[in-house]
Amino acid sequence: MKKVIIVGAGISGMTAGICLQSSGFETEIYEKNPVPGGELSGWRRDGIYIDNCIDWLMCSKKGSTMNDLWYKIGMLEEGLKLYEKDKFFTYKGHGGEITYWRDKERTKKEMLQMAPEDKDAIEKFFENVVRAESMIVPTDKPMDKMGLRDFMKLGDFAKNIPAAQKAYKGLSLKDFANTFHNPVIRNSFLLMHPEETQVFSFIMSYATITSGSGHIPEGGSLAAALRIAKRYKDLGGKLNLNSPVKNVKLNGKTASGIILEDGTEVSADYVICATDANHTFTKLLPAEYMPKKLKKAFDDKEHFSVFSKFHAAFLIDCKTSLPEDTSFWESDGITVWDHEYKDVGVICYDYDPTVAPEGKTVIQMKLFQYADEVDKWFEIAKDREKYEAKKKEVAEKMIDIIAKRCPEAEGKIKVLDAWTPVSYAKNCNAYRGAYMAFVADKNTKTVTTPGVIKQLSNVFLAGQWLMGSGGLPPATAQGKYAAWRICRKEKVECK
């Protein structure tokens, strides 16, 4: 039985492990953290659960191979309760309110009532939301190995997705928003994704919800990560936690295994690096082995940016009138590192009774952090006291916003935790604290890189950085693709 070592127990690494165990390989995962899941995570503070990932899960509706993969790895399972989001988000600001309902016809009607002057732009937007509902993430085999026949099987995807992308070609979300006269609608496009993002990202995210997917599994992200880890172990996989890997051990054109930070060497027939791509090629493997397309994107910071967020979680000692799930509020000009934010993102977790504490409310607030702000967080984090003080300062400003919006919470709001791009870099070795892959701007094609290394015959890559900025589905698909490549080399079916 051939042995495969996987570095990283994020969703990508664990998916590779599950597929390989099912296909008859012996595998071991080495993970630096005490808990599996990587960015698919959550933790407790003062006994209260804080979720850190699934705001919506693409392909949660049955009927796609990605959905089958969710069930295979244990992200979803029969009997697991799924919270059906009735909206993508609500925005209250600029003197109005708009909700992107799951029911797109309702949203369209409300938009047309609010802004008859934007009729053409609104109709075009919904036409493309409908097209984007055909979005799927192929999982049978890597996309670079798909032939015409495989693409034909994708049905409407092959026709509708390029058409939706083309409809707004060369437009950033900011350009697109500016084509609307109504200030509420205009601003609502600039909240979920960075302004420089291609319009299609917003359309695709909303279409995930309108297509009948986008559910949130009960128990949130940590419960999902633990289910996946259990599935892997139940299949005989060996999960080594608290085991940071120093580098892959190379012997000419092959790897003979890995070396752990404590010096232990472990041998294997194959190695999969399911870690952040920058970490892989600055630490685990020689930098010059980075696939060209990836290197180009890392080097071209003007067109391929990354972002992260400042997050704070709050416990409110009463039930509030705050709406469940995701909203954006006017922020009265909260300023962080000289950047004034007009609006702030809020998630209220009341929708999940296993997470929301009895008689209390847990909410999170988030603010985008871009290049300069990320630099400032890394700089201040060199001094622990100053770093903690800065996080507290921002979180306390947020308390004022909550109290203003929700007077019944006044005096009852406590900061549970606050975290920054530095947290993601420290916990997951994430490049500049980013927790999504590159944001390709309006003039640039999304990066899709085959997870192979030209110079090495038995080392493969997995993880979100290989396939656009789509979060869990691309990361999971890439885990499957890495397993598929090894199965193919060994001439066994990838299960």
Binding residues vs ligand FAD (CB under 6 A): 7-13, 30-33, 38-40, 52-56, 58, 244-245, 274-276, 279, 428-430, 435-436, 463-464, 471-473, 475
Query: 32 or 405, CB closer to ligand FAD?
Result: 32
Nearer to ligand FAD, 193 or 279 (CB): 279
Comparing CB distances to ligand FAD, the nearer of 57 and 121 is: 57
- Tokens representing 72 are 């295979």
Angle between helices 199-210 and 119-132 in degrees, nearest 10: 70
Between 85 and 92, CB nearer to ligand FAD:
85
Q: Please state the closest distance from residue 258 (CB atom) to ligand FAD, in A.
A: 9
User: In angstroms, what CA-CA distances link 45 with 6, 185, 313, 410?
Assistant: 31, 37, 10, 21
| Burial zone of 413 (CB within 10 Å; 0-12 exposed, 13-18 middle, 19+ buried) | buried
Q: For ligand FAD, which is the closer residue by CB, 179 or 240?
A: 240
In angstroms, rounded to a whole number, what is the distance separating the alpha carbons of residues 366 and 165?
Answer: 28
Q: Shortest Cβ distance from residue 112 to ligand FAD (Å)?
A: 29
Q: How far is the CB of 464 from ligand FAD (least distance, A)?
A: 4
Least distance (Å) between residue 144 CB and ligand FAD: 18
User: Please, what is the minimum distance in Å from the beta carbon of residue 129 to ligand FAD?
Assistant: 18
User: Least distance in Å: CB of 98 to ligand FAD?
Assistant: 21
251 Cα distance to chain centroid:
35
Q: Which is nearer to ligand FAD, 131 or 279 (CB)?
A: 279
The answer to whether 107 and 101 have CB atoms below 8 angstroms apart is yes
Residue 127 CB, shortest distance to ligand FAD, in Å, is 25
Closest CB to ligand FAD among 111 and 225? Answer: 225
What Å distances lie between residue 32 and 10, 161, 168, 427, 495, CA to CA? 11, 38, 42, 9, 27
Output the smallest distance, CB 279 to ligand FAD, in A: 5
Q: Which is nearer to ligand FAD, 61 or 108 (CB)?
A: 61
Q: Which residues pair with 419 in a beta bridge?
A: 311
Whichever of 361 and 469 has its CB closer to ligand FAD, that residue is 469
Question: Which C-beta is closer to ligand FAD: that of 172 or that of 205?
Answer: 205
Q: Which is nearer to ligand FAD, 165 or 326 (CB)?
A: 326
Which of 180/328 has CB closer to ligand FAD? Answer: 328
Distance CA 56, CA 41 (A): 14
Amino acid at 215: H
Q: How far is the CB of 322 from ligand FAD (least distance, A)?
A: 19
Shortest Cβ 412–ligand FAD spacing (Å) = 25
CB 89 within 8 A of CB 99: yes
CA pair distance 281, 274, nearest whole angstrom: 12
Please list, in sequence order, all residues whose beta carbon lies within 8 angstroms of the beta carbon of residue 111, skipping any fewer than 6 positions away.
98, 118, 122, 185
Min. distance of Cβ 6 from ligand FAD in angstroms?
A: 9
Closest CB 489 distance from ligand FAD, rounded Å:
22
Count of residues for the chain?
Answer: 495
